[in-house]
Structure 1
Amino acid sequence: MEMNKKYDGLIFDLDGTMWNSTKPIVEAWNIILGKHPEIKRELIVEEDLTDCMGKTMYTIAAMLFPKEEEAVRNALMDELCLFENEYLEEVGGVLYPKLEETLKELSKEYPLYIVSNCQDGYIEAFLKAHKLAYLFKDTECWGRTFVTKGETNKILIKRNNLKNPVYIGDTQGDKQSAVDAGIDFIFASYGFGNVDEYNYKIEKFEDLTDIL
């Protein structure tokens, strides 16, 4: 597909696109699970989270705690997420190579945004832990909107009066959110997912400077 370079904003997914926070999230969640002996499941491992990437928090709760009633697992997920935000703010995650340099370069020409299916406070933890808030104009997430990622994209696009932004992500859900919002999609193939169609593909984060 042709690359349309007249973009007026770059909207980034977070997990699998800009960082990998799987290890510290597993650590944080197992700390909380240790306080809940009534929840019957093994310790969470990184593979459990890989299957969940890109999904909303209560969907993840249903996947990880299928034996628990909805109210119980959702309350547990709220507790996990709250602690996870604090934990990530302290320890951070693994940034993909040349992330800050590439974002800095791109920000000279484009306003940068983040839209994620995460809980409220998670994007802020990422920005604070790695001191990257200065690069982004605005962020939005499922934890504030409680709608699909496509609709969340639309909310951010409308709020910032964007006419032709592009979404950069690593999963089929990210691609679908771009389609739903009527915008182009760049596939980060180094991330967690596989995608059936895209406007452009990057194999490492810094490739963005070449195509944009």
Structure 2
Amino acid sequence: MFKGVIFDLDGTLVNSLEDITNAMNAVLQKHNFPTHSVAVCQSFIGHGVRDLVVKALPKAVQNEEWINRCFTEMLAVYRENCTIKTKMYAGIGDLLDELTARNIKLAVFSNKADKLTKKVVKAVLPNWNFEVVEGLKVEALKKPNPFVALEISKKLDLPVAQFIFVGDTDVDILTATSAGMHPVGVVWGYRTKEELIASGAKYILEHPLDLLKIV
């Protein structure tokens, strides 16, 4: 039934929390703003780097000037340090091997900036063929907007009903639902099982290989 899988990146395929937190905190420290723990930064992730920056800044400086300045600085720092501690989650390699063996088409769609998305996939997931890797190019098209997911469907020449969309946040589940794809949540990422179910996830993965039960 399913012939394609679109994966979210951060919190789904890779754990990038430390690299993201360290980059954000480096910018905050530069301007003598309070920094955040990994756990707090985890709650900021899901809607792209700009949204992360807004949430990380003190309320007194959450204005366009500071947001734009720190957003640019965050991207510069993170670009140079986005693969230092970022690693695949346990079991992801086995899952990707099995999906490849079954001729399932693979893609990545992230709200991380497009160049950074491609850099992380190339560095951390070099052994698998993701036929399409898409990050954020236009702010208005970030998830949960389904536009990019629908474009991936066209590029891979598969109807949306034949795609599973796998992610760790409500944003991913809403994107999948809007695109007419099968929404699947993962519990090892940055949000709770309860949030994923409330958002409309049709299936929850406790371990990556659980996806094979659906495929």
Residue number among 76, 87, 112 corresponding to 1:118 in the alignment: 112
Who is 2:150 aligned against? 154
CA offset digits 1:14-57 (Å, max 9, x no partner): 111112111122222223333334xxx21232122111121122
Q: Quick check: 125-134 or 189-198, which moved more?
A: 125-134
SS in 1 for 2:82: helix
CA shift for structure 1 position 131: 4.3
Task: Name the counterpart of 1:3.
Answer: none
Measured in 1, the distance between the counterparts of 2:47 and 2:74 equals: 16
Compared CA separation, residues 87 and 20, structure 1 to 2 (3 A): same
Secondary structure of 1:155's counterpart equals: helix
Distance 1:92 1:107, change over 3 A: farther
Greater helix content: 2
- Which residue, out of 93, 97, 111, partners 1:100? 93
The 10-residue stretch of structure 1 (197-206 or 8-17) with the greater mean CA deviation from structure 2: 197-206
Task: Choose from 201, 205, 212 the match for 1:202.
Answer: 205
Q: Within 2, Cα distance between the matches of 1:159 and 1:124?
A: 17
Q: Which runs of 5+ in 1 are unaligned?
A: 1-5
**Greater Cα offset, 148-157 or 12-21:** 148-157
TM-score where L is the length of structure 1:
0.86
Aligned match of 2:6: 11
Q: Offset of 1:144 from its aligned partner?
A: 4.8
Determine if the alignment matches structure 1 residue 58 to structure 2 residue 50: yes
Q: Does the 8 Å CA contact 2:11/2:190 hold for their aligned counterparts?
A: yes
The 1:19–1:73 alpha-carbon spacing in structure 2 relative to 1, beyond 3 Å, is same
Q: How many residues align?
A: 203
- Report the CA distance between 1:78 and its aligned residue: 2.4
Within 1, Cα distance between the matches of 2:125 and 2:187?
Answer: 25
The equivalent of 1:67 in structure 2 is 60
Cα RMSD (Å): 2.0
* Secondary structure, counterpart of 1:132 in structure 2: coil
Q: Is 1:22 the equivalent of 2:17?
A: yes
Separation of aligned partners in 2, 1:22 and 1:94: 10
Aligned to 2:51, the other structure's residue is in SS state helix
SS of equivalent residue, structure 2 residue 152 = helix
Q: Which of 75, 82, 100 is the aligned partner of 1:88?
A: 82
Secondary structure in structure 2 of the residue aligned to 1:115:
strand
**Per-residue deviation at 1:100?**
1.4
With over 3 angstroms needed to count, the CA separation of the structure-2 counterparts of 1:42 and 1:173, relative to structure 1, is: same
Q: Secondary structure at the match of 2:108?
A: strand
